[in-house]
Amino acid sequence: MAIREKLSGNEAVAVAMKQIEPDVVAAFPITPSTEVPQYFSQFVANGQVDTEFVAVESEHSAMSACIGSQAAGGRTMTATSSNGMALMWEMLYIASSLRLPIVMALVNRALSGPINIHNDHSDSMGARDSGWIQLYSETNQEAYDNFIQAVRIGEHTDVLLPVMVCYDGFITSHAVENIEILEDGEVKDFVGEYEPLHYLLDRERAISLGALDLPSIYFEHKRGQAQAMINAKQVILDVAAEYERLTGRRYGLFEEYMLSDAEVAVVVLNSTAGTTKAVVDKLRSRGIKAGLLKPRVFRPFPYDEIREALGHVKGIAVLDKAEGFSGAGGPLFTEVGSALQGIANVEMTSYIYGLGGRDVTVDHIESVFMDLKDRLADGKGNKITYLGIHE
């Protein structure tokens, strides 16, 4: 039975964590993710969960503790942001290469320097090839729902990969919204008991982890990770279908909004999708066939499905809240462009926007759609545009 609550994104994720009741949570505070372990530590102190909360001395230590806990056979979770995630960079790769389904709330924040505590996606985009599944969340509701589903996705025997659930710092993490949460028992039934296939404390089958991988076997381990990421796509859909039966809320690899007959469309992640939907509605009322594609899953990237969804659109603007410094556009743009490779008569433009928390308004998004229409008329696409910059 659904319970109506007013929660911030961080509170919603902490409540999901409480309802899952992992064996271990190891975390170090960093803005704007600090509230997640803060709220959860209160649940531990109040006796509401039987979780071992490990307060560590750094984010590198947080992920190290998560790796040790999960490797020992415990369901393990953490939360971080920005520079904190950068400090655990080495351990991100170790967690994924050891096939440990740790779940992490990544509250997106700009990476230094200069130091900035506000939202963009440079942290998660920097880790896009670290072997972690990445789920993105437009709203508090989606952050809550994605976090619960992440447990089932990562722990599936065809996957066994860590999962990061990304949502926008302050915009989503601290804003309070009406959401629906599940009963504690429903969440526990959905995620089930953690039953690791191999773990360090298994007396019947002794194993070692983190041993030296020489050229004779390292390549095969990487191939196994790659296959697990390929497998994850179907698992994500299967878990979403089961979650829909439980909640009535539908999730896929991405959301299509007014896209089926769109002539111009924006592709954008996380909270800016909400602003874009308002602009699409406004333009539709004026007879402009505008649409939106909002990726939910960035790793594994759904190339074939996005190609099918966008193949008919004449003008596409891909908005990145991260600068990839590739000279060819943002990271989301290059992925979408790869998916649409070879499709004739599609004009694509890369927009870099919102870096360091720069405000993005309805007027900004409307200008993107108008710019798309103009570029279709003069045939000049494939440019990089910095949206809302002072120049």
Q: Give φ, ψ of 7 to 5 degrees.
A: -135, 145
Spell out the residues 6+ positions from residue 109 whose beta carbon is closer than 8 angstroms to its own: 31, 32, 33, 81, 82, 116, 117, 118, 119, 120, 123, 169
State which amino acid sits at residue 178: N
Task: Indicate the pLDDT class of residue 371, thresholds 50, 70 and 90.
Answer: very high
Mean pLDDT, residues 366-372:
96
Domains of the chain with CATH codes: 3-247 (3.40.50.970), 254-387 (3.40.50.920)
Task: Indicate the pLDDT class of residue 383, thresholds 50, 70 and 90.
Answer: confident
Task: Indicate the pLDDT class of residue 380, thresholds 50, 70 and 90.
Answer: low
Return the minimum-mean-pLDDT range out of 61-75, 155-169, 337-351.
337-351
**Token output for 211:** 């041993």
Predicted local distance difference test score (pLDDT) of residue 377: 81
pLDDT tens by residue, 136-156: 999 999 999 999 999 999 999
Task: Indicate the pLDDT class of residue 210, thresholds 50, 70 and 90.
Answer: confident
The whole model's pTM is what?
A: 0.97
Q: How far apart are CA 161 and CA 142, in angstroms?
A: 21
Sequential DSSP letters for 270-325: TTHHHHHHHHHHHHHHTT--EEEEEESEEES--HHHHHHHHTT-SEEEEEESS---
Instruction: Name the E strands within the chain.
Output: 3-8, 24-27, 52-55, 76-80, 103-108, 133-137, 163-168, 176-181, 254-257, 264-267, 290-295, 297-299, 315-320, 347-353, 384-387
Predicted local distance difference test score (pLDDT) of residue 113: 87
Average pLDDT, the chain: 96
pLDDT tens by residue, 6-56: 999 999 999 999 999 999 999 999 999 999 999 999 999 999 999 999 999
pLDDT tens by residue, 246-290: 999 999 999 999 999 999 999 999 999 999 999 999 999 999 999
